[in-house]
C-alpha cells in the first residue's frame, strides 16, 4: 500500500496523484493526516482503494467514480456528494447532506449521519448503521436509503421514486411520503444491502417508506402541501 501524507503534500498535489491513476489499475493508497481537510479524494475515476486514516472535512469522495474510499474516522458535510459509482465507507459519523445528489455507488456510514442525508439522491444506495437527522431524502429521486437506527423530522419530504427503509423510529414524515408494504422482494433487497455493508441486523425488522405520488403534478387541492 502506497502512502500519501497531507503534512508533506498539499491537498491539490495529493488529489492530483489519486486522480491520475490508471483506469485499469488496482492500486491501494493510504492517506495520513487528513485533519479535517476539505475535498479530499474527490473526482476519482479509477478502481483504486483509498484508505484515509483520520477524519475529513467537507465533500470527501465527492463525484467519486469506481474508487473504493474507506475513512477511518468521521466525515464532514457533503460526503460522497454526487457520487457516480464506487463506494465510500465511513467508520465514524457523517455530517450534513451525506450522499446528496448521488447517482450511483454505495455509501456506508457505520456511525450516525446528520441532517439532509441522501437529499435529492438519484440512484445511490446509502446504508447507515446509526441514526440520521431531519429532512433526509428530501426530493429523493431514485436509489435506496437504509437506516438501521432512528430518523429525525420530515423524512422523505417531496420524495419521488427513491425507497427508504428504516428499522428504528421515524420522528415525522415529510409531505407526500408514506409508509408502504414491505414485500419479500424488499426484504431481499435490504438483506443484500445490509450484508454487503457488513451490518448485522434483520432485514425483516425494517419498514418501507416512499412516495404517495400525489405531488407529482400540480393540483389545486394540494396547494397547502407545496
Partner 1 sequence: MCGIVGLFLKEDSLKPELGNMLSQMLVTMSDRGPDSAGIAVYNDEKTEESKLTIQSIQPEKDFPKLTEYIKSELNVSVSLKQNHNHAVLYSCKNKVNNIRELLQKNRKEIVVVSIGEQIEIYKEVGLPKFVAETFNLKSMAGSHGIGHTRMATESAVSTLGAHPFSTGPDQCLVHNGSLSNHSSLRRKLKREGIYFETENDTEVGAAYLSWCMQQGFSLKEALQKGLSDLDGFYTFVVGTKDGFGVLRDSVACKPAIMAENSKYVAFGSEYRALAVLPNIDQAEVWEPEPATVYFWNKKT
Closest to partner 1 by CB, 39 or 189: 39
134 in contact with partner 1 (CB under 8 A)? yes
Closest to partner 1 by CB, 45 or 81: 81
Q: Which stretch binds partner 1 (CB under 8 A): 11-19, 61-69, 111-119, 176-184?
A: 111-119
Enumerate residues 80-109 that contact partner 1 by CB under 8 A: 92-93, 95-96
52 in contact with partner 1 (CB under 8 A)? no
149 in contact with partner 1 (CB under 8 A)? no
Contact residue for partner 1 among 55, 120, 129, 144 (CB under 8 A):
55
Contact residue for partner 1 among 8, 23, 35, 214 (CB under 8 A):
35
- SS3 per residue for the chain: CEEEECCCCCHHHHHHHHHCCCCCCCCEEEEECCCCCCCCCCCCCCCCEEEEECCCCCCCCCCCCCCEEEEECCECCCCCCCCCCCEEEECCCECCCCCCCCCCCEEEECCCECCCCCCCCEEEEEEECCCECCCCCCCCCEEEEEECCCECCCECCCCCCCEEEECCCECCECCCEEEECCCHHHHHHHHHHHHHCCCCCCHHHCEEEEECCCCCCCCHHHHHHC
Report in angstroms how near the CB of residue 76 gets to partner 1 at its nearest: 6
Q: Note the residue count of the chain.
A: 226
Contact residue for partner 1 among 4, 44, 58, 147 (CB under 8 A):
58
Closest to partner 1 by CB, 128 or 189: 128
Contact residue for partner 1 among 15, 101, 115, 120 (CB under 8 A):
115
Contact residue for partner 1 among 14, 18, 52, 57 (CB under 8 A):
57
Sheet holding 106-109, edge to edge: 2-5, 28-32, 49-53, 68-72, 87-90, 106-109, 122-128, 142-147, 163-166, 207-211, 177-180
Closest to partner 1 by CB, 36 or 123: 36
Contact residue for partner 1 among 40, 46, 47, 54 (CB under 8 A):
54
C-alpha cell at position 198? 457488513
Closest to partner 1 by CB, 56 or 64: 56
Report in angstroms how near the CB of residue 114 gets to partner 1 at its nearest: 5
136 in contact with partner 1 (CB under 8 A)? no
Amino acid at each position: 500500500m502506497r502512502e500519501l501524507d497531507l503534512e508533506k503534500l498539499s491537498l491539490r498535489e495529493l488529489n492530483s496523484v489519486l486522480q491520475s491513476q490508471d483506469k485499469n489499475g488496482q492500486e491501494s493508497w493510504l492517506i495520513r493526516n487528513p485533519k479535517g481537510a476539505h475535498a479530499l479524494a474527490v473526482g476519482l475515476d479509477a478502481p483504486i482503494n483509498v484508505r484515509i486514516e483520520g477524519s475529513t472535512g467537507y465533500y470527501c469522495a465527492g463525484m467519486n467514480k469506481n474508487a473504493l474510499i474507506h475513512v477511518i474516522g468521521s466525515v464532514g458535510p457533503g460526503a460522497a456528494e454526487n457520487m457516480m459509482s464506487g463506494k465510500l465507507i465511513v467508520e465514524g459519523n457523517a455530517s450534513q447532506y451525506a450522499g446528496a445528489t448521488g447517482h450511483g455507488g454505495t455509501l456506508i456510514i457505520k456511525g450516525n449521519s446528520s441532517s439532509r442525508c441522501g437529499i435529492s439522491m438519484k440512484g445511490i444506495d446509502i446504508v447507515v448503521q446509526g441514526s440520521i437527522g431531519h429532512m433526509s431524502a428530501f426530493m429523493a429521486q431514485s436509489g435506496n436509503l437504509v437506516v438501521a437506527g432512528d430518523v429525525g423530522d420530515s423524512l422523505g419530504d417531496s420524495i419521488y421514486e427513491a425507497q427508504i427503509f428504516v428499522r428504528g423510529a421515524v420522528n415525522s414524515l415529510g409531505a407526500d411520503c408514506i409508509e408502504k408494504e414491505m414485500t419479500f422482494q424488499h426484504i431481499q433487497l435490504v438483506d443484500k444491502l445490509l450484508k454487503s455493508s457488513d451490518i448485522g441486523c434483520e432485514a425483516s425488522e425494517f419498514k418501507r417508506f416512499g412516495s404517495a405520488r400525489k405531488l407529482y403534478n400540480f393540483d389545486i387541492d394540494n396547494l397547502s402541501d407545496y
